[in-house]
Amino acid sequence: MSSFKNIVIVGGGMLGGSAVARALSAKLPASTNANITLINPLPYTVSLPTLPRMTVSDGNDLAETALIPFDRLFAAGSKGAFVKGVVEGIHPNRGEGQQSRGGSVVLADGQEFPYDVLVLAPGSVWEGPIDFPLDEQEVNGFLAEQRARFKKAGKIVLVGGGAVGAEFAGEIKDVWPDKEVTIVHGDTGGLLNSAYPVRFRTSLAKSLEARGVNILLGDYVDEIPLADAAITSAKTRKGSVIEADLVVPTRGPRPRTEFVAKSLGASVLDERKQIKVQPTLQLLQHPDIFAVGDAIDTAEQKQAIKAGAHSAIVVANIIAYLDDPKRPLKAYKPSTRESIVVTNGKGGGRSYIALLWGFVLGDWFTRLIKAKTLLVSKAREYMGYN
């Protein structure tokens, strides 16, 4: 690595952009003349598994412990820096064959950062209580508003029965066992989706129903009322009318990739607005741009653990690429079998471990692995807060 190199990382998800930044700062050779810049709208990473519990009730310390600053992220002595900002555009230089050879990213406030290698880890755009603000000045108000809505409501409809909807149902029942909670889910085969076996999906549904959660499969709520709207019911696509005074979108997210298409052209995204990547996790026409996390088009379930696996490949490939751009890089192999841990409040939930013939594990295992603590202490340790 003969000359100074700028590595810019867009997005600070804990196992995405933050993982890349942390690992590069520790693994790049000491002789490497490289600067690492991590850009994120908030001055902290948000531990996403905590959001259902954090936004349902204030009876926890998650607003203090699960929003983890970047100030201890980089390895001691490394040339790493955090920049708070929103990336508005990417301006690649152009070389032979219209392939990028470096460029710059521009923030909404006009700041510009040159890159020799760019990592895109923009994450996803959610709805409702998971739609966490990108302005830190709005966070406290957002949390207070969400908690007040849940507290006030007596009959709650959750629109979407993936892991997010299931976990919201469990958190609500933990705090208010007598509230009426209904999950409306479009899949006819059970909660979540067909990536997981029916026996696991059935077990998860039964664990929620045992707490009084109603589950309506094979139907949709297309119109989500405004947050402050006075409502008495939710109407489904098939004509069912469910009594409700709060309707909460808990559907899956969409990739936060508008700025990528605007900058590099719509062809860099697939039909789901995910970033198209090579097996090496490089963009197809931009070998100096890598991407990780929810926003890429790998054929697998979108989970934090997958972002961690992407990041490990990207870190190794960036080090190799900086050493020799023509050097063969490692390929990422998407998961062929999916594991998952879904909480049902603090007391348990259901887990599926895709080893051998597959294991469905219940409350004791799920409580031990995730439900009781939501892995907050491990997240803080990972971000340098030992």
**Helix (H) or strand (E) segment spanning residue 108:** none
Say if residue 98's pLDDT is above 70: no
Write down the pLDDT at residue 97. 45
Residue 369 lies in a domain: yes
What's the rounded mean pLDDT across residues 60-75? Answer: 96
What's the rounded mean pLDDT across residues 154-168? Answer: 98
139, 240: one domain = yes
| Structural contact between residues 78 and 28, judged by C-beta atoms closer than 8 angstroms | yes
194, 243: one domain = yes
d(CA 265, CA 263) in angstroms, rounded, equals 6
Say what the pTM is.
0.95
Say if residue 96's pLDDT is above 80: no
- Strand order across the beta sheet in which 214-217 lies: 214-217, 180-185, 155-159, 246-249
Q: Which two tokens stand for residue 372?
A: 């009781």
| Structural contact between residues 369 and 351, judged by C-beta atoms closer than 8 angstroms | yes
133, 150: one domain = yes
Write down the pLDDT at residue 125. 95
**Helix (H) or strand (E) segment spanning residue 160:** none
| Structural contact between residues 256 and 295, judged by C-beta atoms closer than 8 angstroms | yes
What's the rounded mean pLDDT across residues 62-80? Answer: 93
Angle between helices 163-175 and 198-209 (to 10 degrees): 20
246, 261: one domain = no
Instruction: Provide the domain count of the chain.
Output: 2
pLDDT digits (tens, 9 = 90+) for 8-45: 999 999 999 999 999 999 998 766 688 999 999 999 99
Taking phi over 0 as left and psi of -120 to 50 as alpha, with beta for the rest, 233 belongs to beta
Q: Which two tokens stand for residue 10?
A: 């867009």
Write down the pLDDT at residue 1. 45
Say if residue 213's pLDDT is above 60: yes
- Strand order across the beta sheet in which 112-115 lies: 87-94, 100-107, 112-115
d(CA 63, CA 142) in angstroms, rounded, equals 11
308, 341: one domain = no
355, 311: one domain = no
Write down the pLDDT at residue 2. 47
> Residue 309's beta-bridge partner residues?
none
10, 140: one domain = no
Say if residue 211's pLDDT is above 50: yes
- What percent of the chain has a predicted confidence (pLDDT) above 70? 96
Q: Which two tokens stand for residue 31?
A: 């002789």
At 357, the pLDDT band (50, 70, 90 cuts) reads very high
Its domain, for residue 282, covers 5-126+254-323
Say if residue 113's pLDDT is above 80: yes
Write down the pLDDT at residue 361. 98
Say if residue 226's pLDDT is above 90: no
226, 274: one domain = no
Write down the pLDDT at residue 346. 98
For residues 68, 136, 294 and 149, what is the CA-based torsion angle, rounded to 10 degrees? 100
Write down the pLDDT at residue 11. 98
Write down the pLDDT at residue 95. 57
d(CA 169, CA 173) in angstroms, rounded, equals 6
Residue 138 lies in a domain: yes
**How crowded is the C-beta side of 150, counted as CA atoms within 13 Å?**
29
Q: Which two tokens stand for residue 284?
A: 């197809």
230, 345: one domain = yes
d(CA 340, CA 303) in angstroms, rounded, equals 9
DSSP string, 6-75: EEEEE---TTTHHHHHHHHHHHS-TT--EEEEEEESSSEEE-GGGHHHHHH-SSSSHHHHSEEESTT-SP
222, 273: one domain = no
Q: Residue 10 maps to which CATH number?
A: 3.50.50.60
Angle between helices 304-323 and 17-27 (to 10 degrees): 40
94, 106: one domain = yes
What's the rounded mean pLDDT across residues 238-243? Answer: 96
241, 303: one domain = no
